[in-house]
Chain A
Amino acid sequence: MKMVEAIVKPFKLDEVKEALTKAGIQGMTVEEVKGFGRQKGHTELYRGAEYTVDFLPKVKIQIIVPDDKAATVVQVITDAARTGKIGDGKIFVSNVEEVIRIRTGEKGPDAI
């Protein structure tokens, strides 16, 4: 099983969620995060004192998928979240050791 974590622009959340549910994904977890990549921050003033705005608000979506679905899901997210402008985000794919459904105790791919 794979964990797919996607960091995307906040206003793209609904679009990505719609695309994923259309592709058959039945669950996800979402967090509000802040971050930056290779784009440089810029400076602003608060009551005359300068500060750099590095961390920009983003949204992190986390999905668990069977191994064979990982590539499709990555493509779905990329297509939905891309704007072509800097700051579109990143997707990370990693291995998951175990998945358990709390209500029934199911394990493995059945628990996804």
Chain B
Amino acid sequence: MKRVRRRHTVASLAAGLWMLSIIGLAFAQEGAPPQAGSEPAKMEAPAAAAPATAAKKEDPGAAPAQFTQGLLDQIGGAKVAMDTVWTLMTAFLVFFMNLGFATLEAGFCRAKNVVTVLAKNFIVFAVSSIAFLILGFGIMFGDGTPFFGTQGIWFVGGADNSPAMGDAYKGVYSALNWTGTPLWTKFFFQLVFAGTAATIVSGAVAERIKFGAFYIFSFSMVAIIYPVVGHWIWGGGWLAKLGMFDFAGSTQVHSIGGWAALTGAMVLGPRIGKYSKDGKINPLPGHSIALATLGTFVLWFGWFGFNPGSTMAADFSAIGRIAVTTNTAAAGGAVAASIMAWIFLGKPDLTMILNGALAGLVAITAPCAFVSVPSSLLIGLAAGVLVVLSVLFFDRIKVDDPVGAISVHLVCGVFGTLAVGLFAQDQFMPGTTGNGLFFGGGLKLFLAQLTGVVSVGAFVFISSMIFWNIIKATIGMRVSAEEEMEGLDIGEHGNIAYPDFVSR
């Protein structure tokens, strides 16, 4: 009992010191760049203002209403208001996905580990909120090198005159000057995406990772790994310049989370009893498929914020279509996975079907704005097939993933990114992706996507490996065998999830 207490004291001290040092550094820098111009400057008429058909149409012969500055300001103001409301509401939906992840993972794990799984999913958003605030956002979207931001990196404190757009934007977060929303709206929207990437990891490392290890890793991931890659893809960095497109984050969110989940599961090793010495794979069934299903529905729901919201504008011509491509891919994934399970496993295993829907959603995340609705169905179906095969594959190579996070997020994230290169059609977002391979655009887009997949994969794999190994060597990454057998709830938290007599 005493030994356990001392170990936890050391672990928490180490974790606290690492995070406090980053936070301390941030506060030290805070003084320097004043928040010059961060109040919304006079709103220049945004480039894509709604046309002035606000004038009543009752007299077609009359001259059109005077295009006064006052009228322009009104229209401009309404557009900014709509864009802001849209961006924030969809961001709130993405925040809600944290509940989906939490309940899904809780359902997939055993009852003795429910508290620790929920705790990881809960704290990760708090940690992400702080890490992204003090450093992450700035590295990701601050002007700087092609690889990371150098201006305005601490506390979102750089000069900024959002919602001014395009040439009228005079701040240090130029990568986001295409959206006519205020700075904190942009921040909050980007934050919930970073939080999603971080919470993906918790599924693959569940049931044997120390709470403190995950705490520190999440902080490091959202402060550094995620934003650096984010700068490459969404922050105006080298992958963006190369012509790689990832609309809502199949690579940026899902495969980053997936790579970190993979390295985490590799460094941790499998749960005790998962793989027998004679090569047999043993199931460790989750304690509540009901919770898991609830979580998956919440995730599907939240994705209607994730994808359509990434327009970061109330772009009425796009958001409905994106919602439909999103939903269609989810449906395709669920159906394909159910058929795969039926054929290959004999019965439609619900856990596979749940993974299938998510696989479709992850796969459509990059292409959602660039592809037709029929294409989204194909993408979803393919993802549903892929995810079932992938779950079986990772078990075969003895990478223990209790919830299928690696199969859903990494494998289908990669697939979705490449799918942009195959299925994109210029007509949907003219002048951006051009046509993909299947629509006469040749290999150019596909190769840009592939470059992104490979470079992000290499960077995240290596950097997350380094972080996991540092954690392993310092405070330790895995709980003791006794604690793992007893269940982590008591060992890590001193809580019991179901303290009264329940039938399981």
Contact = CB atoms under 8 A, between A and B. Distances in A.
Interface stretch (A19-27, A42-50, A90-98): A42-50
A7 B418 CA distance: 58
Nearest to B344: A48
Nearest to B282: A49
Contact of B349 (A32, A46, A50, A51): A46
A32 B503 contact: yes
A109 B392 CA distance: 61
B281 A45 contact: no
Interface in B313-354: 344-347, 349, 351-352
Contacts of B503: 32
Interface in A27-66: 32, 44-51
Contacts of A50: 280-281, 283
A50 B352 CA distance: 15
A45 B347 contact: yes
Nearest to B504: A32
Interface string A47-88: 111110000000000000000000000000000000000000
Contact of B285 (A32, A46, A48): A46
Contact of B351 (A44, A46, A51): A46
Q: How large is the interface on A (under 10, 10 to 19, 20 to 34, 35 or more residues)?
A: under 10
Contacts of B395: 47-49
A89 B282 CA distance: 29
Contacts of B392: 48
B404 interface: yes
A48 B281 contact: yes
Nearest to B275: A49
A50 B284 CA distance: 10
Contacts of A44: 347
Contacts of A45: 283, 345-347, 349
A47 B404 contact: yes
B363 to A, nearest CB: 20
A31 B503 CA distance: 10
B391 interface: yes
Given A45-B345, A45-B346, A51 B352 contact: no
Q: Which 8 A-B pairs have the closest CB atoms?
A: A46-B283, A49-B283, A49-B281, A48-B392, A51-B283, A45-B345, A46-B285, A32-B503
Interface of B: 280-283, 285, 344-347, 349, 351-352, 391-392, 395, 404, 503
10 contacts: A45-B349, A46-B285, A47-B351, A47-B391, A48-B391, A48-B392, A49-B283, A50-B280, A50-B281, A51-B282
